[in-house]
Chains A and B, each alone.
Chain A
Amino acid sequence: AFCLFSDKDIIYMCHFNGAVKGKVLITNYRLYFKSSDADVTVMLDVPLGAISRVEKMGGASSRGENSYGLDITCKDMRNLKFALKQEGHSRRDIFELLFRHAFPLSHGLPLFAYVTQEKYAENGWNIYKPVEEFRRQGLPNNKWRITFINKSYDLCDTYPTVLAVPFKSKEEDLRRVAAFRSRARIPATGGGYEGDEYQNAELVFLDIQNIHVMRESLKKLKDIVYPNVEESHWLSSLESTHWLEHVKLVLSGAIQVADKVSSGNSVVVHCSDGWDRTAQLTSLAMLMLDSHYRTLRGFQVLIEKEWISFGHKFASRIGHGDKNHADQDRSPIFVQFIDCVWQMTKQFPTAFEFNEHLLLTILDHLYSCRFGTFLYNCESAREQHVRSKTVSLWSLVNSKMDIYLNPFYTPESGRVLYPVASMRHLELWVTYYIRWNPRIRQQQQSPVEQRYKELLALRDEYLKKLEQLQLSDSSTSSRLANSPTANTSSTTSTPTQQYTHLQTPF
């Protein structure tokens, strides 16, 4: 990233601290602000990709202190206001610069992911290999086969090239079905679980609202948490945003899918186009059914497979680099999915290999445009440039895995996880939605996780010490090998035997 703009004399209109004087620095990746006042330390670090709207505030003749400046709306639940000096149109430069670089696609500029030259030890693009993943699930078998019919995206341009389809279906039939379905999206396997296909189909409506309702719901949620948390009738206000209710419906839909699948029925999940609700429901159901997807790498595969390769329209839903903030195609469908995952991790603290930090990182980079992972609407559009020219988010994650690992994780393969989709248990994810509030202590890690890691380190330290003592003990006993006492002590249980038995499997 390189510096585009800096100003030592800008005022950040903080919702909590009032006007804060400081220094602003804008690169082609981020906006950075630091207060110069020693009394109030305010720091801002906003990837330009997270900006959804930049507006001018006041005019050259506006009266009143700090009434002239910029108003920035972000996709990650915050708003920022800056005030500038009215003399000499000082706002013009910064506004134009922000506008160009926050919305590069509207200005014929490349997204930052194409500019950055980051290098990582692991190449995250290799995390998902469709045929390998099908093989892990035992496909092909006598019920399902793998087809390359969409090899060059001519059957369905929003589907991946490799598909698993019912064994008996002929390529000709698939082509005919494709003609009838919305945008030629034929039914293909999500989880790939065995069962009889299309017999005695049972139709279940899940009552999940459309993308516009979800967008408005999150907007309402933002209103009650930012800048301040609604003090009076908080829970009633939260209820009226319906956000948790939508989360509940998505989760309970996924539970129904998982339940049907685990009792031996195949399930066709569909919504109008099959890239929003379908992605949510299949991926959540798979998370419940298949413990592999609850591992750090498995979760990446799940996102790659059900979201990225099956064509969730990230570009349209998020509006990467696009200035049209009011676009009706935008909707927080993926955020809602991650919220559902978070709810599951809360109910089953030991069932997931990854921690909350991973979920936060994913959501941050959903907007940041630093990685190629969430760019574009489908695989066919992506294939041409993304893999070779951008870095995958999983490169970042897998090069520093330990900070994303849940120390409580207990692998239990084959265990089906049914969360309780009830308002009694669903909670607002405060560490995501209310993280900008300065009255809350910023914690890198959940205190419980942190304490567990400290205790693990302590145990390892004790084990090391004991080993040292036992080594020096065995050297003394070998020196005194002739003495009878040494012999008796070595026949009784030695420290080595004692403590190796006690190592917690990890």
Chain B
Amino acid sequence: LHQHCCKIFTFAYYLLLLLMHVNVQSKKHCKSIVVNEVNFVRKCISAESNQDDPWGKLICTNFKVSFIPQEAPPKQKSQLSHLLLGEHDIPLTCLEQVVTVNDTKGKKKVLGSNQKLKFNPTELILYCKDLRIIRFCFDEAGPESARKVCLAIAHYSHPADLQLLFGFEYQGRRYHECKGDYIVGGMQTPIFDRPSDWDREIKRTSASEWRVCSINESYAISPSLPEYIVVPVSLADQDLKQYSLYFTDRRIPLWCWNHPNGSALVRMACIVDPLHQRKIDQRIFTAITKSHTQRSEVIRSDLDKCLPNIQDIQSAFVKVRQICVLDPFEESEERWLSSIDNSRWLEYVRAFLKHSAEIVYYLEGKNVSVILQEEEDRDLNCVVSSLVQLMLDPHYRSLIGFQSLVQKEWVMAGHRFLDRCNHLKKNYKEESPLFMLFLDCVWQMMNQYPAAFEFTEAYLTVLSDSMWIPLFSTFLFSSPKQRAQHLMDFAKNKAIPQGEDQVVYFPPVWEWSQQFSIKDQTLFNNPMYVGKGAACVQNGEVKTFRRTKKTYSSTLRGTATLMRNGLKEGEDTLTRRGSLVSELKSEFSAVKDESPSERFFRDWFSRPADQQGLLIPLSMPSHVALWKLFFLRWVPEACIPRGGPITAYHKLSQLVDEIEILQSQLRQYKGPSPGNTPLPSPSGPPSDQRRMYFKASYPDDPATTPDFFTSSFPFTPVGNLCRRSVYGTPISKFLNGARIWLSTETLANDTV
């Protein structure tokens, strides 16, 4: 039956393509097909009065819901301008719920796919996954066309099949239209779909006792593992094939990362067969111990037992979202803190940070390898393994490094993005914002160590928004195999020659030039970043940090040495017995009730933090905050005019731009000796190479805070969050957000 329905749907879809071959070319290359449209629609901007509301045309295409105002409003300066989406556009994949209302009849209906609507809607409310709430009024529109548009939006936002997501349509056309003359940007990010990416990672972390294994080529062993994985050298392909039979989804242990001290971070699924558990465990443990340069023991952390599960996380997110964007602003002020508390979102953020820090202690402080274990190894393990690596390895705190981390621990490790994002809106039980939780944890670290990350919170927010734009391969699939299959079919359908790199014809989100101009991408750069080669002033002299791998590992080793109660570095490589003694010594603590890990953290916090070394976040509840830019950016009442973190970012950005101009001028001086050749007139770097969003100011410029700065920058709340003024309207009861968002059962209900 399902297949049958799909066919009908697909047929209807192509029929529409034929019938309504109208291209909406509002943005370059992003032609989508208009399905339905209605005129004289009012977009609600303000809850109080409708005086400033723009009038225009509401369009549903096979990609997005578009509102085209009759009079083009002045372009808002503060807005990040998206290359494929206009100010009033919402991708269909971004729709969480489509609600139609008839005010006079007091009716409301949540629309799903292929449904009927027995009343003419006077209003359409779109609840978006990026937390926007957008409202349109049809008071002057033709009732029939309004109804049709609503139904079309509901229908097209519930695609029957993954291939119907607009990305497939779009990338196919883009491939053929731009063939040969487009630059593949953003490709410095390793995708980990080939052995060389893994090899580089092994070399970078000096994991000499680990090797790339290709037994899963063509997904021969496990459907959810990548084709190439890294395993202990002591395990032969044959052994691994045999072990794989005992693991959930045949997911054999995966190497994630190596500490310079030799300990490794490994992730694995559970062993299905209890009879073989001990045996398999033992072999795996022995192999990992053998791969440790000091043959240290292995510790297992069972994440299912100590962290919230995916349903807990989903319900916490639903609640925090409700509190931030749905509840009436003034009424929720009084109980704001306890409401946030009761959502448990921050508690979960803390739990993940804390547990990851605990793992860091084992790897760094105790010098032992750690196995992260989870039933399927596709959810909690992704969060914890990536957080541990962010804390330990500064490489992942660079932009490219971070993207490669997401690629390695999420995309390639088989995080089920398709199910967790619920792109097809089919199974709500599988929906869970794990990636969002991870981004929030990263933000917490960034908030505590603002100079340690190469990217900004705007970058993290834009990345989270990109989950809901179905044009990139990153967040569309549940496993590398699913991705490969879909892309192969896609290539066949779109006549893309075999052997063409998938990354070229269906790029990952990392190709930011598809979404933003070079200038707008500079908003991702953190001017405070102390990265490799960052210059600093020491005793009045400019010095450059050149962190070779050697100094990096020696700092790490230095801290490990400290932990061992004054044992010097040379003694690190003592015999087993010797190291055991030193370990026992470090267990002793003069401080009451203090565990060795607490002691380790206390020691670490008593020293100044090295931005390019180990970073442990404070996980005390007082130091874990709500991520305001993400949760409150659309809330007009929470917007601080001409204030917020952007005002400091602005100054930092200008200063760094000036420094970079000076650097470039100095470099030109140091060029060929001045005596022989005429000096080139020193100048700044070409404008397209300037990394900072805000350019150095000139002395004549007035030093003022630009008017368009708000705490929501680079986003704007204008028109993006229109809560109904709940009081006084007869249907206010029905629109109580709790019902709309909390319960998915209402989806089935017809009218209230």
Contact = CB atoms under 8 A, between A and B. Distances in A.
Given A236-B341, A447-B449, A455-B659, A489 B678 contact: yes
B622 interface: yes
Contacts of A441: 605-606, 608-609
Contact of A495 (B335, B621, B682): B682
A414 to B, nearest CB: 10
Interface stretch (A44-52, A96-104, A497-505): A497-505
A423 interface: yes
A454 B656 CA distance: 11
A287 B93 CA distance: 47
Interface stretch (B121-129, B261-269, B528-536): B528-536
A455 B678 contact: no
A422 B340 CA distance: 14
A457 B679 contact: no
B648 A229 contact: no
A418 B628 CA distance: 19
Interface string A422-448: 111101101000100111110000011
A498 B682 contact: yes
B621 A234 contact: yes
Given A236-B338, A488-B678, A350 B622 contact: no
Contacts of B674: 473, 476
A434 B622 contact: yes
B666 A428 contact: no
Nearest to A450: B451
Contacts of A462: 542, 659, 662-663, 666
A390 B135 CA distance: 65
Contacts of A245: 334
B620 interface: yes
Interface string A481-498: 000011011001111001
A452 B637 contact: no
A456 B655 contact: yes
A230 interface: yes
Contact of A234 (B592, B622, B655, B665): B622
Interface string B661-700: 1110110010000110011011100000000000011110
A7 interface: no
B662 A502 contact: yes
B632 interface: yes
A485 B678 contact: yes
A208 interface: no
B621 to A, nearest CB: 3
State which size class the interface on B falls in. 35 or more
Interface stretch (A110-118, A135-143, A358-366, A405-413): A405-413
A458 B638 contact: no
B336 A424 contact: yes
B74 interface: no
B621 A499 contact: no
Given A411-B703, A424-B628, A502-B661, A439 B338 contact: no
A164 to B, nearest CB: 31
B623 interface: yes
Contacts of B346: 235
Q: Which of A244, A452, A492 has the most CB of B within 10 A?
A: A452
Nearest to A407: B651
Contacts of B705: 350-351, 410, 412, 415
Given A408-B651, A441-B608, A503 B337 contact: no
A236 B334 CA distance: 11
A402 interface: no
A40 interface: yes
Contacts of A454: 536-537
Nearest to B635: A424
Contacts of B609: 441
B640 A447 contact: no
Contacts of A451: 450-451, 528, 530, 652
Nearest to B449: A447
A349 interface: yes
Given A350-B648, A350-B651, A498-B665, A439 B450 contact: no
B352 to A, nearest CB: 16
B602 A438 contact: yes
Interface in B114-170: none
A231 interface: yes
A17 B590 contact: yes
B450 A448 contact: yes
Contacts of A494: 681
Q: Which of A41, A459, A486 has the most CB of B within 10 A?
A: A459
B658 A423 contact: no
A440 B606 CA distance: 8
A473 B642 CA distance: 44
Contacts of B581: none
Nearest to A495: B682
Contacts of B497: none
B651 A410 contact: yes
A498 B334 CA distance: 55
A418 B669 CA distance: 48
B591 interface: yes
A39 B658 CA distance: 47
A420 interface: yes
Interface in A227-258: 229-231, 233-236, 238-239, 244-245, 248
Interface string B358-385: 0000000000000000000000000000
A498 B679 CA distance: 14
Interface in B499-546: 527-528, 530, 535-537, 540-542
Nearest to A234: B621
Nearest to B680: A489
A260 interface: no
A231 B621 CA distance: 6
Contact of A461 (B334, B537, B637, B658): B537
B590 A422 contact: no
Contact of B605 (A440, A495, A503): A440
B656 A455 contact: yes
A209 interface: no
Nearest to B641: A418
Given A18-B591, A458-B542, A499-B665, 20 more contacts: A229-B620, A231-B621, A235-B341, A238-B337, A408-B651, A410-B704, A411-B703, A412-B704, A422-B637, A423-B337, A428-B622, A438-B605, A439-B602, A439-B618, A440-B623, A451-B530, A462-B542, A489-B678, A502-B698, A505-B697
8 contacts: A17-B590, A236-B342, A422-B329, A425-B628, A440-B623, A452-B651, A462-B666, A493-B683
Interface of B: 329, 333-338, 340-342, 346, 449-451, 527-528, 530, 535-537, 540-542, 590-594, 601-602, 605-606, 608-609, 618, 620-623, 625, 628, 632, 635, 637-645, 647-648, 650-652, 654-656, 658-659, 661-663, 665-666, 669, 674-675, 678-679, 681-683, 696-699, 701, 703-705, 711
Interface of A: 16-19, 37, 39-41, 225, 229-231, 233-236, 238-239, 244-245, 248, 347-351, 408, 410-412, 415, 417-420, 422-425, 427-428, 430, 434, 437-441, 447-448, 451-452, 454-459, 461-463, 465-466, 469, 473, 476, 485-486, 488-489, 492-495, 498-505
What 5 pairs across the A-B complex have the smallest Cβ distances?
Answer: A18-B592, A234-B621, A235-B341, A423-B336, A239-B337
